[in-house]
């Protein structure tokens, strides 16, 4: 099973799509490491919507000048 790298504080936690969907709550923000598969992140977004959640934001966030200085953000409304 493929894993997504979830960022929580200074920790990097690997979780599967199903795990994240099961733990999801309204008004949650998730941040994912840039090495996470974009295809898996899109699958996660789709699965959350199928589970009845509304996605407010799903984007790439740049935090520095280097092209490797980014992460992914997902906000459930």
pTM of model > 0.85: yes
Burial class (CB in 10 A: 0-12, 13-18, 19+), 35: exposed
Residues 6+ apart with CB under 8 A from 65: none
pLDDT tens, residue by residue, 26-77: 999 999 999 999 999 999 999 999 999 999 999 999 999 999 999 999 999 9
Q: Give the domain ranges of the chain.
A: 4-76
Side-chain half-sphere exposure of 44, counting CA atoms within 13 A: 31
């Amino acid at each position: 099973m493929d894993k997504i790298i979830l960022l929580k504080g200074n920790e990097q936690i690997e979780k599967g799509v199903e795990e994240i969907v099961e733990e999801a709550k309204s008004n949650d923000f998730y941040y994912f490491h840039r090495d996470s598969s974009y295809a898996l992140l899109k699958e996660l977004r789709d699965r959350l919507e199928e589970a009845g959640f509304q996605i407010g934001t799903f984007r790439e966030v740049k935090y520095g000048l280097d092209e490797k200085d980014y992460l992914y953000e997902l906000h459930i409304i």
